[in-house]
């Protein structure tokens, strides 16, 4: 093998799933959210063509045929056809949403696509100019089940062996140890295990073989932050494999944290956010950014950073400044999980505000969790809506207590203009 073996490893394309996680989507972002997974998938196949890959490994969850709709299926077939023209084989191990049986019989996949069967590990030869250069093993995930990895094994003659499988949770695999290093089971058997099922890129084992999750090509939700893409695997003459990450996403979720102090003013916070966005745009050039802000610290700003208050004011301004141009930097949300920050003497005030703070403190100390059911309106007739008053855990109670205390402070310190008489709702 004079030329190194080159493979493109991708998984979790989820062509049926647009980008989600926004509470409000303006019109100019709709197409962006719809098209982002398609663009990312195209970039994966474009990478295979540009890198002159010997094969493309798809480790499951490519698309859910039932929920994807014709555009996604057509896109996938077009891209597979492009690879077929260049005679690049595609090895596809079905995952949780793309079980091989679910593929419609009426839609024929190109001849270069090899879909691995369910329940057994199939072994195929990867050839270049009539010479076998690697062995590709793979299996598809049964519907609602897990993959049995015991069938993977290295080639007896030392040929470089690649495994392809969709394994969302390695700890549940048969033969895996209970305390997580089950990941190592994957690496023992083949030289390179192309895994799918996790949306974040991760190498779970490196010796004696590499077990690698390439992640999804496009981060879907707010929790899938940072760059996403596919992995280009290069195997040199000595059989040593190297992975290279190639970003394919067009929308990137970013989590940003800022600290405020008691002396931080609103304008200062705003300026810091603007500065941070400009830096992010320079750092992630050419990519649309969806930024989630987390503000921490102390001081009066902490109390005001809540919905319908300062948080929304800042969001409106940031979206106006950075959310209308291309590439967009859309501030998705601003949250502040720091506890209420008020001067200690407020607790001693003989006012409604002082009373409120003391009651909140009592609840924090003695009465968490608390019951919100009395505030439900009568005759709700909807289980979901009735469950609104039910909080699942103590943590949820504490979090609600924190948010409610800030709302209460906001309401009880409303800046009334002189002479104003509060309305009686």
Nearest to other proteins of 200, 400 (CB atom): 400
Contact partners, residue 363, CB within 8 Å, separation at least 6: 370, 401
Point out which residues pair with 288 in neighbouring strands. Answer: 251
Check binding of 23 to other proteins (CB under 8 A). yes
Cβ(61)–Cβ(166) below 8 Å: yes
Nearest to other proteins of 255, 312 (CB atom): 312
Binder of other proteins out of 17, 162, 176, 277 (CB under 8 A): 17
Nearest to other proteins of 130, 378 (CB atom): 378
Instruction: Please report the beta strands in 64-168, taking only residues with DSSP state E, as ranges in sequence order.
Output: 90-92, 113-115, 122-128, 131-138, 161-166
Q: How far is the CB of 145 from other proteins (least distance, A)?
A: 23
* H or E stretch covering 264: none
d(CA 386, CA 380): 7
Binder of other proteins out of 3, 28, 50, 69 (CB under 8 A): 69
- Of residues 136, 117, 116, the one with CA closest to residue 126: 136
Check binding of 360 to other proteins (CB under 8 A). yes
- Which parts of 24-43 interact with other proteins (CB under 8 A)? 24-25, 30-31, 33-34
Check binding of 71 to other proteins (CB under 8 A). yes
Check binding of 378 to other proteins (CB under 8 A). yes
Check binding of 388 to other proteins (CB under 8 A). yes
Check binding of 20 to other proteins (CB under 8 A). yes
Q: How far is the CB of 35 from other proteins (least distance, A)?
A: 8
- Which parts of 338-357 interact with other proteins (CB under 8 A)? 349-353, 355-356
- Which parts of 279-338 interact with other proteins (CB under 8 A)? 307
Binder of other proteins out of 171, 242, 359, 394 (CB under 8 A): 359
- Which parts of 237-256 interact with other proteins (CB under 8 A)? none
Q: Strand 5-10 vs strand 55-58: parallel, antiparallel, or unpaired?
A: parallel
d(CA 172, CA 226): 27
Of 15-23, 130-138, 228-236, 315-323, the segment contacting other proteins by CB under 8 A is 15-23
d(CA 37, CA 16): 9
Cβ(117)–Cβ(100) below 8 Å: yes
- Which parts of 403-422 interact with other proteins (CB under 8 A)? 403-404, 407-408, 411-414, 416-422
- Which parts of 96-125 interact with other proteins (CB under 8 A)? 104-108
Check binding of 204 to other proteins (CB under 8 A). no
Nearest to other proteins of 159, 404 (CB atom): 404
Q: Classify 275 as helix, strand or coil.
A: helix
Check binding of 383 to other proteins (CB under 8 A). no
CA 209 to chain centre: 27
- Count of residues of this chain found to bind other proteins when the rule CB under 8 A is applied: 74
Write b or e for each residue in 134-173: b if 16 or more Cβ atoms lie within 10 A of its Cβ, otherwise e: bbbbbbbbbeeebbbbebbebbeeebbbbbbbbbbebeeb
- Which parts of 169-198 interact with other proteins (CB under 8 A)? none
**Does the N-terminal peptide bond of residue 369 adopt cis geometry, omega within 30 degrees of 0?**
yes
Q: How far is the CB of 86 from other proteins (least distance, A)?
A: 23
Nearest to other proteins of 130, 415 (CB atom): 415
Q: How far is the CB of 413 from other proteins (least distance, A)?
A: 7
Name the token pair of 90: 């595609």
Binder of other proteins out of 122, 321, 363, 398 (CB under 8 A): 363
Of 92-100, 126-134, 186-194, 382-390, the segment contacting other proteins by CB under 8 A is 382-390
Check binding of 67 to other proteins (CB under 8 A). yes
Q: How far is the CB of 63 from other proteins (least distance, A)?
A: 11
Cβ(107)–Cβ(77) below 8 Å: yes
Number of continuous H segments (helices) and E segments (strands) in the chain: 10, 15
Contact partners, residue 340, CB within 8 Å, separation at least 6: 302, 303, 360, 402, 405, 406, 409
Q: How far is the CB of 326 from other proteins (least distance, A)?
A: 19
Nearest to other proteins of 49, 407 (CB atom): 407
Angle at 36 between CA 278 and CA 251, to 5 degrees: 20
């Amino acid at each position: 093998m004079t030329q190194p073996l080159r493979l493109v490893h991708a998984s979790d394309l989820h062509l049926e799933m647009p980008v989600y996680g926004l509470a409000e989507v303006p019109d100019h972002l709709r197409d962006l959210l719809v098209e982002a997974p398609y663009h990312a998938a195209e970039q994966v196949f474009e990478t295979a063509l540009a890198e002159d890959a010997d094969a493309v490994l798809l480790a499951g969850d490519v698309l859910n045929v039932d929920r994807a709709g014709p555009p996604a299926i057509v896109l996938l077939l077009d891209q597979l056809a492009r690879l077929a023209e260049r005679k690049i084989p595609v090895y596809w191990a079905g995952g949780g949403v793309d079980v091989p049986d679910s593929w419609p019989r009426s839609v024929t996949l190109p001849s270069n696509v090899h879909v691995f069967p369910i329940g057994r590990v199939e072994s195929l030869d990867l050839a270049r100019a009539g010479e076998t250069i690697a062995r590709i093993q793979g299996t598809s995930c049964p519907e609602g089940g897990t993959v049995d990895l015991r069938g993977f094994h290295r080639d007896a003659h030392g040929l470089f062996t690649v495994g392809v499988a969709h394994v969302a949770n390695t700890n549940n695999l048969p033969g895996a140890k209970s305390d997580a290093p089950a990941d190592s089971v994957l690496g023992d058997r083949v030289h390179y295990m192309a895994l799918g099922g996790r949306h974040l890129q991760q190498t779970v084992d490196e010796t004696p073989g590499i077990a690698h999750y390439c992640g999804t090509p496009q981060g879907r939700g707010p929790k899938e932050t940072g760059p996403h893409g596919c992995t280009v695997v290069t195997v040199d003459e000595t059989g040593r494999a190297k992975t290279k990450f190639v970003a394919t996403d067009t929308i990137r979720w970013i989590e940003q944290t800022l600290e405020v102090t008691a002396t931080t003013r609103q304008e200062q916070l705003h300026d810091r956010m603007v500065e941070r966005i400009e830096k992010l745009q320079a750092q992630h050039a050419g990519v649309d950014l969806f930024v989630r802000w987390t503000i921490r610290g102390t001081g009066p700003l902490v109390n005001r950073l809540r919905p319908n208050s300062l948080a929304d004011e800042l969001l409106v301004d940031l979206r106006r400044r950075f959310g209308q141009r291309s590439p967009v930097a859309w501030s998705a949300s601003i949250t502040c999980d720091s506890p209420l920050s008020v001067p200690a003497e407020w607790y001693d005030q003989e006012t409604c505000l002082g009373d409120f703070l003391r009651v909140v403190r009592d609840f924090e100390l003695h009465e968490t969790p608390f019951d919100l059911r009395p505030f439900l309106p009568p005759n709700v007739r909807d289980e979901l809506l009735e469950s609104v008053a039910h909080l699942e855990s103590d943590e949820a109670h504490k979090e609600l207590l924190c948010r409610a205390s800030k709302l209460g402070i906001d309401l009880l310190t409303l800046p009334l203009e002189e002479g104003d008489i509060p309305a009686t709702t």
